[in-house]
């Protein structure tokens, strides 16, 4: 499954959730008036200092648990998307500019967790419109540059890759794993913890191989 399809699946699943009809109505709205956004920012009380005070205090293990990324990897992606946050949009109206650092952390939090746009906007002290725009912006940039990093191996690499999969997983004739999916199942009576994932349901993990 391509990066683009993964991001679309995440977006569709979140948008179709019944947890917050407010978020659905917001995403469907075409309203982009800056005065409305400014009004939202001034009226709603949001969390302050998450990026400045909380995230820096995370241990490396806590950081990876929350963002599903190492700090060094986040720095790399931040540099990759930085130009998207430095572009001049000509849009005024009092909206505070968002740094690439905040933008990439917001995006990673979105794809790594089960929070709505309302919750993410509150956590990162931005409006829902801004959170939505940041996620679209970063996702598009990653999809546009994905070909630089997601490549199929050359034919001369096949024997070594196949041997590596055979030694490590006892899989014969495999040169790569494309993607996996999780299938909900009933909790088994024997060793249930082995099939218990972070979403708090028992699942069977299936991986598609080349």
pLDDT tens digits for range 106-138 = 999 999 998 999 999 999 999 999 999 999 999
Strand partners, 182: 205
Cβ pair 50, 101 in contact under 8 A: no
- Return the SS3 of 196: strand
Same domain, yes or no: 86 and 22: yes
- Return the SS3 of 23: helix
Same domain, yes or no: 32 and 50: yes
User: According to the model, what pLDDT value does residue 190 have?
Assistant: 76
How many domains, the chain? 2
Tokens of 156: 């001369």
Same domain, yes or no: 136 and 32: yes
Same domain, yes or no: 120 and 34: yes
Range of the domain at 184: 155-209
pLDDT tens digits for range 20-77 = 444 544 444 434 444 455 555 556 676 789 999 999 999 999 999 999 999 999 999 9
Last residue of a domain, one of 148, 174, 192: 148
Same domain, yes or no: 69 and 142: yes
What CA–CA distance (Å, rounded) separates 135 from 142? 11
Last residue of a domain, one of 107, 132, 148: 148
Same domain, yes or no: 203 and 130: no
């Amino acid at each position: 499954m391509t990066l683009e399809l993964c991001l679309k699946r995440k977006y569709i699943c979140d948008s179709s959730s019944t947890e917050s009809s407010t978020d659905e109505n917001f995403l469907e709205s075409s309203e982009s008036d800056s005065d409305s956004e400014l009004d939202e920012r001034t009226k709603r009380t949001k969390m302050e200092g998450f990026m400045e005070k909380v995230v820096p205090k995370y241990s490396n293990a806590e950081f990876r648990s929350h963002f599903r990324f190492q700090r060094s990897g986040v720095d790399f992606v931040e540099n990759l998307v930085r130009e998207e946050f430095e572009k001049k949009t000509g849009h005024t109206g009092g909206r505070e500019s968002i740094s690439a650092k905040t933008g990439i952390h917001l995006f990673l939090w979105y794809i790594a967790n089960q929070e709505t746009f309302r919750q993410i906007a509150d956590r990162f002290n931005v409006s829902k419109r801004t959170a939505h725009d940041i996620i679209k912006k970063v996702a598009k940039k990653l999809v546009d540059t994905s070909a630089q990093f997601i490549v199929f191996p050359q034919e001369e690499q096949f024997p070594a890759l196949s041997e590596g999969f055979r030694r490590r997983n006892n899989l014969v004739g495999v040169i790569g794993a494309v993607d996996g999916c999780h299938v909900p199942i009933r909790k088994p009576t024997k060793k249930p913890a082995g099939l218990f994932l972070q979403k708090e349901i028992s699942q069977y993990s299936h991986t598609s191989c080349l």
